[in-house]
Amino acid sequence: MHIPDGIVPVQIGIGGYVVTGLITWYSLRQINRMKDPMQGVPKAALLTTAFFVASLIHLPIPPASVHLVLNGMLGCVLGYYAFPAILIGLFFQAVTFGHGGLSTLGINGLIMGIPALLAYHLFQLRQTFGRQLKPRLAFGLFAFLAGTFSLGLSALIFFTIVIVTIPSNLDAATERAAVFTLLLAHIPLALIEGTFTAMLVLFLERVKPELLQGEW
C-alpha cells in the first residue's frame, strides 16, 4: 500500500508534503501539551520498528499478496505519536527496501497516518459507548474496530489516488479492474489487522495497562 515514485503528478506529491507537514505539526503540538512529552518516546520508537518491519510480512490472499500495515495498532497505543512514528517508518522503508518513494513520502504519510489518528479517536470512544460492556470486552471490541477501520480507510484512500491518477498511456479500464481486485483482497486483511490489534490491546491491558493510558 505504498505509492512509488513516478506514479502521481508532481503537484500531488508536493500537496502531500504540505498536508503531511501540517498534520505532523499539529500532532507534535498535541504531544507537547502533555506533562511529559518524552514519556511516550520509547513506546513510539518500539512501535515504529514494528511498523517498519510489518511491510516485510506478506500474506497470500488470492488473487494477490498483501502485507500488514499496523497503523490502527499504532493509533490505539500511541495516540498523536502515531503520525510522526508512521512518517519515520515510511522514510526508512523507502530508503532501505524501496517500498514507496521519497517524492511520495507525504502522500504515503497521509494514506497511513490519517487513518491511524482516526483509529485512536475511535478507540477512545470505548469510554463513552463501551460503558455498558465489560472493560475487557470494550477494549477488545473497539480495538478491533479501530484496526479494521484504519486498514480499510488506508486501502480506500490508496486505491482512490491510484485510480484518479492513472497515466493516460495506460488502459484505464484494465487498471481500474486490477485496482478493484486488489481492494477486495484487502478486506480480509482488514479483519486480520483488527484481530491482531484487539489481541495486542487486550494483552497490554492485562500486563501493562499504563501503556494504553494517555494524557490526551
Reduced 3-state DSSP string for the chain: CCCCCCCCCHHHHHHHHHHHHHHHHHHHHHHHCCCCHHHHHHHHHHHHHHHHHHCCCEEEECCEEEECCCHHHHHHHHHHHHHHHHHHHHHHHHHHHCCCCCCCHHHHHHHHHHHHHHHHHHHHCHHHHCCCCCHHHHHHHHHHHHHHHHHHHHHHHHHHHHHHCCCCCCCHHHHHHHHHHHHHHHHHHHHHHHHHHHHHHHHHHHHCHHHHCCCC
pLDDT of residue 216: 41
Residue 112 lies in a domain: yes
Domain count along the chain: 1
pLDDT of residue 180: 72
The CATH code of the domain that includes 99 is 1.10.1760.20
Residue 5 lies in a domain: no
Three cell numbers written together for 102: 521519497
Residue 159 lies in a domain: yes
Three cell numbers written together for 172: 484505464
Q: What is the pTM of this model?
A: 0.88
pLDDT of residue 57: 74
Sign of the CA dihedral running 98, 103, 107, 113: positive
Residue 1 lies in a domain: no
Three cell numbers written together for 133: 460492556
Q: What is the pLDDT along the chain (216 residues), one digit of tens a residue?
A: 788 888 888 999 999 999 999 999 999 999 999 988 898 899 999 999 989 888 777 666 555 556 788 999 999 999 999 999 999 999 999 998 888 889 999 999 999 999 999 999 999 998 888 778 888 898 999 999 999 999 999 988 988 888 877 665 555 666 666 667 677 777 888 999 999 999 999 998 888 887 775 544
Three cell numbers written together for 95: 530508503
Q: Identify the domain containing residue 73 by its residue range.
A: 10-212
Residue 119 lies in a domain: yes
pLDDT of residue 173: 67
Sign of the CA dihedral running 175, 176, 180, 181: negative
Residue 4 lies in a domain: no
The residue written with cell numbers 520508537 in the block is 45
Contacts of 95 (CB under 8 A, 6+ apart): 102
Q: What is the CA radius of gyration of the chain?
A: 17
- Nearest residue to 212 (alpha-carbon basis) of 75, 63, 88, 10: 75
Residue 2 lies in a domain: no
Residue 3 lies in a domain: no
The residue written with cell numbers 477494549 in the block is 139
- Nearest residue to 114 (alpha-carbon basis) of 16, 181, 203: 16
